[in-house]
Amino acid sequence: MSFDPFKQKVKPVCDAFECWKDLLVKPYDKRSADPYTKLRVILMNGTEFEANWFSHQFSRHCNINDLRREIALVRRVEQQQQKKISALKPVDETVLETTIGYEQLAVELTANLARREKDPYVKMTLDFALLEDFDHLYRFSNMLMHDMNVDASRLVGERTEITPGRPTVAEHRFPADDVRRACDNKKADPLTRLNAAIITAAEQQTMNFYMNVGNTYPTEEGKKLFLEIAMIEEQHVTQYGCLMDTTCTWLAGLLEHEYTECYLYYSCALDETDPRIKKVWEAMLEQELSHLHKAAELLERYEKRDYTSVFPHPAFPEPLAFGKDNIPYVRDVLKNTVRMTSKEEDYVEVADLKKDDVFFTHNKRVNGKAADEPAHAVIESYLTAHGEDFRFETEPNPVPELACRTRDNTTVGLGG
């Protein structure tokens, strides 16, 4: 049955305020929690971060204080929601273990979105970054086993393969080549709009996480790995942020954000297997519905237009569900597109670039010698200690050059 969030009964926004003890919920147990529950916690933390920062930016670009008071009220609830969700993460989950969750989310979420995406350009954009986060998962997993003796295949519940993707060394592009064409929300499919908004917030959360905690890793080698991969997340946020419609007003943007939040909590509540956490998602959905209705009311009051001018078909499309087996899909994308890069707005084979293209000069400038590149060095250390790298594969890597477990390839994706 279709769910139209605008047709639901809602409570006043203020009803959501809670006392401190109710906000500090009990964390999940990192040993028994389902990996997808952990992914939902990261995803919704990132969604709330985006809701907060969008709202602050809106306020800073608005000269009507009555309107700023309304959005301050909603924003306070967004902050509470973020606090409650972040309290679900246990303190004994280390930064590196959490990082595995971030990269697993990047792989699983991106694959889920790409598989339902009808716009070939947006799908290619998703597939493109998917392979890069897939490689990050492999690099961080090797460091986790090497430094902490923790098996990442257990953390990902053996639902995501751990094997090289587009080697991180090949991911460093000149900034101008990460800009993408924006979607036009008046023409875009409802799922495309949602996909762009969801993935931008999720990748932004990863970028922020590495910006804030990357420097806390205890080893020099690990600090460098976080630093290098954090720079790729900046590229991902640039490309995904570019997809978002640039023509909507701040109030229409607010409505878009609330709609996306409602859709995600609706999806999480349906998908969640932990009954206690399912209740959290349900309560959040109720709060978001009141935000959405408030945003529609503000659009009406200040722009004299109805929410249907932004959402002509407001009923939710199919919910987002984790748990699809994405392994064959990711293997296919890897096999077919590992040697691609982006040139301005388009995707090209690295082999088709001119030898003096800025891709090569920029890449060389930041990486220096292959041995100095942190993502490669981490695997080299692992190989020196163990002889073979750490992987979790259902079959050998589909790219022959990446199938070797005793040598880390640094040329695939760089013209090799």
List the structure tokens of 150: 């923790």
Burial 16-47 (b: 16+ CB within 10 A, else e): beeeeeeeebebbebeebbbbbbbbbbbbbbb
**89 contacts Fe ion (rule: CB under 5 A):** no
Of the two residues 10 and 353, which places its CB atom closer to Fe ion in the complex? 10
Side-chain half-sphere CA neighbours of 307 within 13 A: 20
Q: What minimum distance in Å lies between the beta carbon of 130 and Fe ion?
A: 9
List the structure tokens of 135: 């490689």
Q: What minimum distance in Å lies between the beta carbon of 356 and Fe ion?
A: 29
- x/- letters, 156..195, toward Fe ion (CB under 5 A): ----------------------------------------
Residue 346, beta-bridge partner list = 343
- x/- letters, 367..396, toward Fe ion (CB under 5 A): ------------------------------
**343 contacts Fe ion (rule: CB under 5 A):** no
**Region at 389 (left for phi over 0; alpha for psi -120 to 50; beta for the rest):** beta
Q: What minimum distance in Å lies between the beta carbon of 53 and Fe ion?
A: 12
Burial 248-264 (b: 16+ CB within 10 A, else e): eebbbbbbbbbbbbbbb
**97 contacts Fe ion (rule: CB under 5 A):** no
Find the binding residues for Fe ion in span 38-57 (CB under 5 A): 48, 51
Of the two residues 81 and 185, which places its CB atom closer to Fe ion in the complex? 81
**133 contacts Fe ion (rule: CB under 5 A):** yes
Q: What minimum distance in Å lies between the beta carbon of 136 and Fe ion?
A: 4
**Region at 375 (left for phi over 0; alpha for psi -120 to 50; beta for the rest):** alpha
Find the binding residues for Fe ion in span 207-266 (CB under 5 A): 233, 236, 258, 261
Which own/partner pairs from 351-358 qualify as long-range (CB within 8 Å, at least 24 positions apart)? 351/415, 353/415, 358/174, 358/176, 358/177
Q: What minimum distance in Å lies between the beta carbon of 81 and Fe ion?
A: 4
Between CA 255 and CA 293 the distance in angstroms is 9
| Interacting residue with Fe ion among 123, 146, 173, 291 (CB under 5 A) | 291
**139 contacts Fe ion (rule: CB under 5 A):** no
Q: Which residues bind Fe ion (CB under 5 A)?
A: 48, 51, 78, 81, 106, 133, 136, 203, 233, 236, 258, 261, 288, 291
